[in-house]
């Protein structure tokens, strides 16, 4: 069985992989990176993706099947540009794909699309999820069947433009000694197509029980939310963005608060780092990406998988992002 990281797809650039087990198979929902020719900037304009492909595997070492285009930006009536990180949830025989895309006024919204099959194709709803904003939706199903969406991303992800879920005239930046801008968590409606409540702030505390500060760039949330449960605890993991770490924080409820615990993955080749964590056939795996195969082009990434291990106390063993 695998120990070393493995790139999963050749001939197509893929990033931000969200992995789930459906019907005993592993399905991966990544972003589909393309060469758009748009120069790199802090707004992320160079990530100009237009569709999603779905991949599946019977075994972690086995062949990876590309199921082709599952959703295209042209099929989303309200969409403008930039289809970023996606995720999928399952309920009552239907599969729900969530995707952030800028609307025609260049504001990120989160959309939902539905299929009878985990590989799609997915039919988009006519409008974005009401009250949605920013990027990187990750949908977690708790053991009682309730689904929660985690979302948000700074800078090009536009999270800094919102206060109490309301768009602000100008983006704001807390001072270094003020609490950092939080990710958001929200309960999903029974039909999984809308929010069931107002999104709440997801607070990450330090070892003294204080919220992480905005100046704590090595630990504060930036983007790439993911939630998984291990031994009854809720593990919220995320990217620190400009310090290029994947970190995690642990709590007792899907809403938190969460206490910062450490680094899952050290920096990889490329600016972004983004992941999912999934148990498959009794082992835990980290799905993530780097830009090594494209020679370091930030916007052309390749997804990979590596085994993830826990210590006895439930902490996660740090993985070397440069390991071959």
Residues that bind ligand FUB (CB under 6 A): 15-16, 31, 47, 84-85, 135-136, 153, 223-224, 272, 274
DSSP type of residue 210: P
Show the tokens assigned to 119.
């590989």
Pairing of strands 166-167, 183-187: unpaired
Of 199 and 259, CB closest to ligand FUB: 199
DSSP characters over 145-205: S-EEEEE--SGGG-GGGEETTEE-SS-----TTSBPPPEEEEEBPTTSSSBSS--EEE-EE
210 is catalytic: no
Of 45 and 206, CB closest to ligand FUB: 45
Of 185 and 224, CB closest to ligand FUB: 224
Helix/strand/coil for 46: coil
CB of 32 to ligand FUB, least distance (A): 10
Residue keyed to tokens 């289809």: 83
Q: How far is CA 36 from CA 46, 82, 285, 294, 307, in A?
A: 7, 11, 31, 14, 33
16 is catalytic: yes
186, exposed or middle or buried, with CB in 10 Å at 0-12, 13-18, 19+? buried
d(CA 108, CA 117): 27
Catalytic residue selected from 16, 119, 216, 290: 16
Catalytic residue selected from 33, 87, 223, 290: 223
Of 48 and 206, CB closest to ligand FUB: 48
CB of 153 to ligand FUB, least distance (A): 6
CB of 74 to ligand FUB, least distance (A): 19
CB of 16 to ligand FUB, least distance (A): 5
Of 135 and 259, CB closest to ligand FUB: 135
CB of 232 to ligand FUB, least distance (A): 28
Catalytic residues: 16, 223
């Amino acid at each position: 069985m695998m120990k070393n990281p493995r790139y999963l797809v050749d001939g197509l650039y893929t990033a931000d992989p969200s992995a789930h087990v459906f019907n005993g198979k592993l399905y991966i929902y990544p972003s589909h990176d393309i060469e758009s020719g748009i120069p790199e900037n802090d707004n992320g304009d160079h990530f100009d993706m237009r569709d999603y492909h779905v991949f599946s595997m019977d075994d972690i070492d086995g062949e990876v099947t590309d199921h082709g285009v599952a959703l295209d930006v042209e099929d989303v009536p309200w969409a403008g540009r930039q289809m970023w990180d996606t995720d999928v949830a399952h309920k009552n025989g239907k599969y729900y794909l969530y995707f952030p895309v800028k609307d025609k006024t260049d504001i990120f919204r989160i959309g939902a699309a539905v299929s009878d099959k985990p590989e799609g194709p997915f039919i988009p709803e006519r409008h974005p999820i009401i009250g949605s904003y920013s990027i990187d939706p990750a949908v977690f199903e708790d053991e009682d069947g309730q689904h929660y969406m985690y979302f948000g991303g700074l800078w090009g992800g536009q999270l800094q433009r919102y206060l109490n879920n309301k768009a602000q005239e100008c983006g704001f930046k807390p001072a270094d000694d003020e609490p950092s801008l939080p990710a958001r968590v929200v309960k999903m409606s029974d039909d999984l197509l809308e929010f069931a409540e107002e999104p709440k702030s997801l607070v990450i505390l330090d070892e003294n029980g204080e919220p992480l500060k905005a100046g704590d760039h090595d630990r504060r949330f930036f983007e790439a939310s993911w939630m998984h449960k291990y031994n009854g605890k809720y593990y919220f993991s995320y990217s620190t963005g400009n310090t290029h770490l994947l970190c995690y924080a642990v709590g007792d409820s899907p809403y938190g608060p969460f206490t910062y615990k450490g680094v899952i993955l050290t920096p990889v080749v490329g600016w972004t780092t983004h992941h999912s964590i999934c148990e498959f056939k009794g082992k835990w795996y980290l799905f993530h990406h780097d830009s090594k195969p494209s020679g370091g082009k930030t916007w052309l990434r390749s997804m990979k998988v590596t085994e993830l291990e826990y210590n006895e106390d439930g902490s996660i063993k740090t993985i070397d992002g440069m390991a071959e």
